[in-house]
């Protein structure tokens, strides 16, 4: 049985400057699949509606997954046979959904004089309308027979499979230009996705998070260990959810002050089966962290 | 938890009719009285924006005696002062690269200032400054010393030397100059004694304003503290990316402004130092 949670906290820097949170997050759980999504609106001057764009990115993704899962049995049969092509189609569907939502919103809510007042006419003319809504997107999908994820722009996806090890399985799209942040608003957005797919491993839990979470850690080891600790508590989600919310708030406030979103889906039956393995991993990670620190403090001169 | 005001529609939301949670709508309120003591997730600490200070220190034979003794003492005293710079909202890390015949890092990676302990240095050999520049360029990378997920300010790079390089420093400097962290970093240099060449140091920093000279033990202590503390303060300062009219300015402009500010402040502070009557390094050398 799948379960999940998601939460977004507003960055302390946005609170200070009176900006709204640019992040959005959501999850959906059914008998056949579970999807966790987060999106991070760009938030800079020309992306002045990116808080709406990130919400649309999350909605568009869940709607696309719903559509592909309209006939669950058929999808479960077809996807493993041609996952590369179907993944590209899911990505295209997400972009199409998002463009429709943005177009509709802009039609119903034309740019106001106040929004325009921050630009010269010449500057404003140069901005493509979809750019007003620019956002990143990360989606993690757990199916009964496979697991996959798609991503455009920065953010992280962490998964724990049957060996209990936290990993980042996304295979990054090397064709996306390194110096340009990929965005759902890019004209070639459908070609800028990174993705991963596996039908070889049994998923315990999977997390999608916006950049604000990753950058609140001093090392990638800590970042991965954090997800293992959360996984160790998911069997008590009702009691633990507030702890997660508090911790995200703390990370935003005392870390880099950015918005943070975390969305998770997990297989609660398999998690119960693997609970003792996860507890062992948490202890092992603590020991390894102590060893790494001791090694770090050795002088070389 | 006391006075908790966090709203959380997503976590309690209906699973069938999903709803995207935008904090613009579900605006999460931060309450100053939030209690974070009972947090099992605290095993993985929260990292603030970090600043790495790179010290490039000449440990060639000519540094032997008073210069190296004074430098070791000053650096030991300096660590607590830099620690205070980072107390507010910046995680300061220190990396020390020594160069003589060989180049060597004091630690295998930048160390958080609260854990940093100075290892007393000894002087010997020739001045392989070019090799030091190459080694710095190699390590100043997201794949090496600057691999922390947390965001980084551009580094501070502080060069201290008492002599002319014995290798092809220009070749090393050329390599370093193509490194983006170097380009945007705050660079300062201290020449120790009469033999240090200010022109070489200015080539390294990009400006004469960020080059100073110490001719005695007292001056050495003053100059190291002025440069290290001032550059750490400026380096860890967030500068706005927009000007007064709201026009967005490039990051290059921000870094150039910081480097200029460092030069001005160093020159002001150096000018305000009282001359001390201690014995110059080069007396009797």
Domain ranges of chain A: 2-296
Smallest CA–CA distance, residue B209 to chain A, in Å, is 32
For chain B, give me the number of helices (H) and strands (E)? 8, 8
The two tokens of residue B82 are 């830099």
Q: Which two tokens mark A78?
A: 């077809």
Retrieve residue A94's tokens: 């997400």
Contact A216 B148 (CB under 8 A): no
Higher model confidence: residue A100 or residue B45?
A: A100
Does residue B104 form part of some domain?
yes
B282 within some domain:
no
Is B44 contained in some domain? no
Report the CATH number at residue B78.
3.40.50.410
Q: What percent of chain A has pLDDT over 70?
A: 97
The CATH number corresponding to A2-296 among 3.90.950.20, 3.60.21.10, 3.60.40.10, 2.40.50.140 equals 3.60.40.10
Structure tokens at A64: 């696309």
- First-to-last CA distance in chain B? 67
Distance from CA of B15 to the nearest CA of A (A): 5
Band of pLDDT at residue A116, cut at 50, 70 and 90: very high
Return the residue matching tokens 């110059």: B280
CB contact under 8 A, B27 and A20: yes
- Are B134 and B225 found together in one domain? yes
- Minimal Cα–Cα distance from B195 to chain A, Å? 26
pLDDT value, residue A171? 80
pLDDT surpasses 60 at A6? yes
Task: Name the nearest CA neighbour of A42 among A51, A32, A33.
Answer: A51
d(CA A61, CA A26): 10
Over residues B187-219, the pLDDT tens digits come to 999 999 888 889 999 999 999 999 999 988 888
d(CA A227, CA A98): 29
Query: From the list A51, A58, A242, which residue is nearest B1 (CB)?
Result: A242
A47-56, A179-188, B207-216, range with greatest mean pLDDT = A47-56
Q: Assess: ipTM above 0.85.
A: no
Confidence of residue A91 (pLDDT cuts 50, 70, 90): very high
| Positions in chain B short of pLDDT 70 | 1-39, 86-88, 239-251, 273-279, 281-285
- In A236-274, which residue ranges form alpha helices assigned H by DSSP? 237-254, 268-273
The neighbouring-strand residues paired with A2 are A267
Mutation test of the interface with chain B: which of A1, A2, A3, A6, choosing the one with the most B Cβ atoms within 10 A?
A6
Q: Which domain holds residue B83?
A: 49-239+248-271
| CB-based contact A271:A52 (threshold 8 Å) | no
Same domain, yes or no: B24 and B64:
no
Cβ distance A220 to B147 less than 8 Å, yes or no, reads yes
Number of structural domains in chain B: 2
Asked whether A281 and A227 are in contact (CB, 8 A), the reply is no
Query: Does B189 lie in the same domain as B258?
Result: yes
Compute the distance between CA of residue B109 and CA of residue B105 in angstroms, rounded to an integer.
8
Considering only alpha carbons, which residue of chain B is nearest residue A260? B23
Task: Please enumerate, as own/partner, the contacts of B65-69 that have beta carbons within 8 Å and a separation of 24 or more.
Answer: B65/B123, B66/B217, B66/B281, B67/B123, B67/B162, B67/B192, B67/B193, B67/B220, B67/B281, B68/B121, B68/B122, B68/B123
Closest chain A CA to residue B17: A28
Q: Locate the chain A residue with the closest alpha carbon to B94.
A: A297
Q: Are the Cβ atoms of B44 and A24 closer than 8 angstroms? A: no
Mean pLDDT across A77-102: 96
Q: Quick check: B254 contacting A, CB < 8 Å?
A: no
Which is more confidently placed, A140 or A16? Answer: A140
At residue A129, does pLDDT exceed 60? Answer: yes
DSSP B124: -
Question: Closest residue of B to A120, CA-based?
Answer: B247
Question: What CA–CA distance (Å, rounded) separates B269 from A46?
Answer: 41
**The pLDDT value given to residue B27:** 38
Q: Which of A15-19, A190-194, B78-82 has the lowest mean pLDDT?
A: A15-19
Q: Is the pLDDT of residue A34 over 50?
A: yes
Is B150 part of the contact surface with chain A (CB cutoff 8 Å)? yes
Q: What is the SS3 assignment for A64? A: helix
In the structure, what pLDDT confidence band is assigned to residue A45 with cuts at 50, 70 and 90? confident
């Amino acid at each position: 049985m799948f379960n999940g949670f998601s939460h977004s906290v507003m960055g302390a820097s946005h609170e200070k400057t009176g900006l709204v949170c640019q992040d959005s997050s959501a999850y959906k759980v059914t008998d056949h699949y579970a999807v966790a999504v987060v999106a991070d609106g760009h938030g800079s001057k020309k992306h002045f509606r990116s808080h709406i764009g990130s919400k649309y990115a999350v909605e568009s993704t869940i709607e696309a997954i719903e559509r592909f899962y309209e006939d669950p049995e058929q999808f479960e049969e077809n996807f493993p046979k041609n996952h590369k092509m179907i993944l590209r189609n899911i990505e295209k569907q997400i972009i199409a959904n998002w463009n429709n939502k943005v177009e509709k919103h802009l039609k119903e809510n034309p740019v106001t004089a106040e929004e325009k007042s921050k630009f010269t006419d010449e500057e404003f003319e140069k901005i493509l309308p979809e750019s007003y809504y620019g956002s990143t997107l990360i989606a993690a999908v757990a199916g009964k027979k496979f697991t996959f994820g798609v991503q455009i722009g920065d953010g992280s996806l962490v998964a724990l499979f049957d060996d209990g090890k936290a990993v980042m399985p996304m295979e990054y799209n090397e064709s996306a230009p390194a110096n340009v942040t990929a965005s759902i608003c890019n004209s070639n957005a459908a070609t800028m996705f990174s993705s991963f797919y596996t039908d070889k491993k049994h998923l315990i839990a999977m997390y999608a998070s916006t950049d604000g979470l990753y950058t609140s850690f001093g090392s990638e080891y800590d970042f991965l260990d954090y997800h293992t600790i959360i996984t160790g508590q998911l069997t008590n989600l009702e009691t633990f959810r507030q702890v997660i919310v508090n911790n995200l708030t703390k990370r935003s406030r005392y870390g880099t002050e950015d918005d943070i979103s975390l969305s998770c889906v997990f297989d609660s039956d398999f998690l119960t089966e693997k609970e003792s393995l996860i507890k062992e991993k948490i202890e092992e990670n603590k020991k390894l962290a102590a060893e790494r620190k001791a090694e770090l403090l050795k002088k070389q001169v | 938890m006391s006075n908790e005001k966090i709203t959380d529609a997503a976590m309690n939301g209906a699973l069938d009719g999903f709803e995207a949670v935008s904090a613009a709508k579900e605006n999460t309120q931060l309450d100053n009285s939030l209690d974070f003591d009972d947090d099992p997730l605290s095993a993985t600490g929260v990292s603030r924006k970090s600043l790495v200070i790179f010290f490039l220190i000449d440990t060639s034979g000519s540094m032997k005696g008073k210069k190296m003794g004074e430098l070791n003492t000053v650096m030991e005293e300096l660590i607590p002062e830099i620690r205070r710079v980072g107390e507010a909202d910046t995680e300061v890390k220190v990396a020390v690269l020594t160069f003589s015949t060989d180049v060597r890092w004091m630690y295998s990676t930048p160390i958080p200032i609260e854990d940093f302990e100075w290892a007393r240095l000894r002087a010997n050999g020739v001045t392989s400054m070019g090799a030091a520049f190459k080694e710095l360029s190699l390590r100043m990378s997201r794949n090496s010393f600057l691999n922390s997920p947390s965001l980084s300010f551009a580094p501070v790079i502080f060069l201290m030397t008492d002599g002319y390089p014995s290798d092809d420093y220009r070749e090393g400097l050329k390599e370093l100059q193509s490194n983006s962290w170097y380009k945007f970093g705050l660079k300062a240099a201290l020449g120790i004694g009469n033999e240090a060449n200010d022109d070489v140091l200015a080539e390294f920093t990009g400006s004469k304003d960020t080059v100073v000279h110490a001719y005695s033990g007292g001056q050495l202590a003053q100059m190291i503290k002025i440069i290290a503390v001032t550059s750490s303060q400026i380096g860890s300062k967030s500068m706005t990316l927009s000007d007064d009219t709201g026009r967005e300015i490039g990051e290059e402009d921000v870094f150039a402004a910081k480097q200029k500010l460092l030069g001005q402040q160093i020159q002001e502070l150096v000018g305000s130092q009282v001359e001390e009557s201690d014995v110059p390094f080069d007396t009797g050398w």
